[in-house]
Amino acid sequence: MNLSQYMVIGRYIPGNSYIHLLDARSKLIFVFLYIFLVFLTNSILGYLILLSFIIIGILISKIPISYYVKGIMPIFLIILFTIILHLTTNKAGDLVFQWKWIEIYSQGIEQAVFITLRLLILVIIASMLTLTTSPIDLTMGLERILNPLKRVNLPIHELALMMSISLRFIPTLVDEADKIMKAQKARGANFETGPIHKRVINMIAIIIPLFISAFKRADELAIAMESRGYRGGEGRTRLRVSVFTWRDLLLLLIFSVLLITILSIRGL
Amino acid sequence: MKIKAKNLTFVASIASIYVVLTVLFAPISYGWIQFRVSEALTILPFFTPLAIPGLTIGVLIANIFSQAGIPDMIFGPLATLIAAIMTSKIKNKWLVPIPPILVNAIIIGIMLGVLFSSEISIPLAILWVGVGEFGVLYLLGMPLLLALEKRKDIFEKYND
């Protein structure tokens, strides 16, 4: 299995769908507010509305669904783990199922379903953001949103750039970690058996090479940036400057409708 | 403030290593009984102050996947930032793991205790997070620190 295949967040697929053409600022703000909405929701109906909205988004983005499915794979274990945790530890509500010492209560099931939906929505929306927005647009969007903070002397340009470079590095480093793991296994390293403390210490054999290779890549990137004349944010101009258009206005309207719907469901 | 390109990409690479290690060992990285392998990296500020923004950004990105959601995306990086600043001031290497253990146990413990109040009490959440951090930092963080000590040269060129 090639791990990097499953690391969708941080990857960009060019295109010209409605979502691709949105201003990066609108997308960033929308994703942030959407995550907020996800946590505001407390009923199954609310989650279904949010989920169906995401599915429409997937269809509009014209990005193969397989990408999103792959994006869910890495968190599949987290979901499974949380489901088991909630089913076994939450003892509120009615007793639904009992087998020997395993007792499952209705609240536990409810919580497990909620958390699963929540995680699915979060991962899909985060993947959708990076899949449809180029790293350059993402950086610029972030920078322009945070611009007011420049007044308090925060290096916003640099922070935004660091953030998008690290997002871009993630799939590359997952790939690298995978290679290192295989190489170390070929040398006889053991990550799968033995007592837990030994296994943990063995991980150093992955972490140190990962450091060296990541730092090397970072250096190469810095040289590439400098040789192209990167001098920091001051006086930097852009080839393409995105502007707020009817598309962004439409997104705002859609979000308002969504917000009102979720709030009214909550109030019921 | 002017930041050199090589320092900038260096910070970004630390952040992504954090995210990669968190996600690779995902199921044990989140929740109140957490054993986040990537937390071993919190020893890095001992070697270079550039690890402070690096770890903070890393936690911010990694916590997008947290079930605790927005609070975890605010308090996680905040706890890391405070701990990393404290770590960078420490001179004795054996005490390096202390700030991340204490700061995370208190901030993240209280946060998880409040968020999942139906499942766990605050003192217990503090204890669990603390135990997890203690385990990672002394089992993995400390050996990592000792191993990196021999390769200090990796960090030196960024420290000017």
Based on the fold, state whether residues A113 and A219 are members of the same structural domain. Answer: no
Q: How many inter-chain contacts (A to B, CB under 8 Å) are there? A: 161
* Cβ–Cβ gap B69/A35 under 8 Å: yes
The pLDDT of residue B22 is: 83
pLDDT of residue A220: 93
What DSSP designation does A98 have? E
> Is the Cβ pair B37, A200 closer than 8 Å?
yes
Contact (CB, 8 A) for B76 and B108: yes
Whether residue A214 sits in one domain with residue A88: no
Q: Which of A27-31, A87-91, A116-120 has the highest mean pLDDT?
A: A27-31
From B1, B8, B17, residue closest to A211, measured CB to CB? B17
Task: List pLDDT tens digits, range A58-71.
Answer: 999 888 888 888 77
Choose between A143 and B102: higher pLDDT: B102
Residue B117 has pLDDT above 90, yes or no: no
- Euclidean distance between CA atoms B121 and B123, whole angstroms: 6
Confidence of residue B103 (pLDDT cuts 50, 70, 90): very high
In a domain, A147, yes or no: no
Q: How many independent structural domains does chain A possess?
A: 2
Q: Is A18 in the same domain as A120? A: yes
Whether pLDDT at B30 is above 70 = no
Confirm if A108 and A89 have CB atoms less than 8 A apart: yes
Residue A119 with chain B: CB contacts under 8 Å: 65, 67
Task: For residue B26, give the nearest of A78, A115, A173 by CB distance.
Answer: A78
Mean pLDDT is lowest, of A27-41, A210-224, B6-20, B94-108, for: A27-41
The distance from CA A248 to its chain's CA centroid, rounded to whole angstroms, is: 22
**If you average pLDDT over residues A146-151, what whole number do you get?**
83
Residue A76: inside a domain: yes
Q: What is the pLDDT of residue B14?
A: 93
- Please report whether residue A45 resides in a domain: yes
Contacts of A161 in chain B (CB under 8 A): 8, 12
Most B-contacting residue of A9, A35, A40, A78 (CB-CB within 10 A), to test interface: A78
CB contact under 8 A, A222 and B4: yes
C-beta of residue A131 within 8 angstroms of C-beta of residue A61: yes
Task: Say yes or no for a CB contact (<8 Å) between B20 and A173.
Answer: yes
Q: Are residues A122 and A170 in the same domain?
A: no
Cross-chain residue pair B13–A166, CB shorter than 8 Å: yes
Residues sharing a CB contact under 8 Å with residue B143, sequence separation 6 or more, in sequence order:
A201, A204
Q: What is the pLDDT of residue A1?
A: 42
* CA count, 13 A, side-chain hemisphere, B31: 20
Rounded-to-integer distance, Cα B42 and Cα B47, Å:
11
Q: How far is B96 from chain A (nearest CA, A)?
A: 18
Which has the closest alpha carbon to B47: B150, B142, B122, B155? Answer: B155
pLDDT averaged over every residue in chain B: 83
Query: A67: how many CB neighbours lie within 10 A of its CB?
Result: 16
Question: Is 60 exceeded by the pLDDT of residue A76?
Answer: yes
Q: Is the pLDDT of residue B28 over 70?
A: no
Q: Does A225 touch chain B (CB under 8 A)?
A: yes
Q: Which residues of B touch A77 (CB under 8 A)?
A: 26-27
Same domain membership, residue A65 and residue A28: yes
Nearest CA in chain B to A78: B27
Cβ distance B1 to A153 less than 8 Å, yes or no, reads yes
The mean pLDDT of A17-40, rounded to a whole number, is: 87
Do A124 and A17 share a structural domain? yes
Intra-chain end-to-end CA distance of chain B, in Å: 15
pTM of the entire structure? 0.77
State the residue range of the domain holding A187.
Answer: 159-236
CA distances A148 to A142, A153, B61, Å, are 11, 10, 22
Asked if residue B113 has pLDDT above 50, the reply is yes
Residues B130, B110: Cα–Cα separation, whole Å: 11
Taking contacts as CB-CB distances below 8 angstroms, the residues of chain B near A126 are: 64-65
Helix (H, G, I), strand (E, B) or coil at A102: strand
Helices vs. strands in chain B: H and E counts, helices first:
7, 0
The pLDDT assigned to A214 comes to 92
Q: What percentage of chain A exceeds 90 in pLDDT?
A: 7
Q: Is residue A149 part of a domain?
A: no
Residue A198 counted as domain residue: yes
Secondary-structure percent of chain A, ordered helix, strand, coil, rounded to 5: 75, 5, 25
User: Same domain for A232 and A268?
Assistant: no
What distance lies between CA B80 and its chain's CA centroid?
5
A3/A111 same-domain check:
yes
Q: Compare A241 and B17 and report the one with higher pLDDT.
A: B17
Q: In terms of domains, do A207 and A173 share one? A: yes
A108 lies in some domain: yes
- Domain assignment present for residue A186? The answer is yes
Q: Which residues contact B20 (CB under 8 A, 6 or more apart)?
A: A170, A173, A174, A177, A210, B38
In this prediction, residue B82 carries a pLDDT of 93
A165 shares its domain with A212:
yes
Q: CB–CB of A204 and B20 under 8 A?
A: no
pLDDT at B79 over 50: yes
Q: What is the average pLDDT across B132-156?
A: 85
pLDDT-derived band at A102, boundaries 50, 70, 90? confident
**A221 and A247 part of one domain:** no
Do A5 and A123 share a structural domain? yes
Q: At A105, phi and psi to the nearest 5?
A: -110, 160
Per the CB < 8 Å rule, is B9 touching A226? no
Torsion of CA A156, A160, A166, A167, to 10 degrees: 160
Task: State how far the Cα of A162 lies from the Cα of A154, in Å rounded to an integer.
Answer: 13
Q: Which residues of A49-60 are buried (b: 16+ CB within 10 A; e: fewer)?
A: bbbebbeebbee
Which secondary structure element, helix H or strand E, spans residue A172, and what is its range? helix A156-186
Please indicate, yes or no, if residue A153 is contained in any of the structural domains.
Answer: no
* Average pLDDT, integer, range A141-169: 84
Torsion sign over Cα B119, B123, B126, B130: negative
Given this model, what pLDDT does residue A216 score? 92
Rg (CA), chain B: 15
CA atoms within 13 A on the CB side of B3: 21
Give the best-scoring range by mean pLDDT among A132-136, B61-65, B87-91.
Answer: B87-91
What does the pLDDT average to over B1-21? 86
Query: In which band, very low, low, confident or very high, does the pLDDT at A91 lie, cut at 50, 70 and 90?
Result: confident
pLDDT at B54 (0 to 100): 92
Cβ contact B57–A159 (<8 Å): yes
CA distance B16 to chain A (A): 5
Average pLDDT score, chain A: 82
Q: Which residue has the tokens 């995210």?
A: B19
Cβ <8 Å between A217 and B13:
yes
Q: Which of residues 180-199 of A touch B (CB under 8 A)?
A: 197
Q: What is the mean pLDDT of residues A119-131?
A: 84
- The two structure tokens encoding residue A11: 């990857």
- Other CB atoms within a 10 A radius of the CB of residue B34 amount to 20
The confidence score (pLDDT) of residue A219 equals 92
Q: Mind listing the pLDDT tens digit for each residue in A201-248?
A: 777 888 889 989 999 999 999 999 989 888 877 777 777 777 788 888
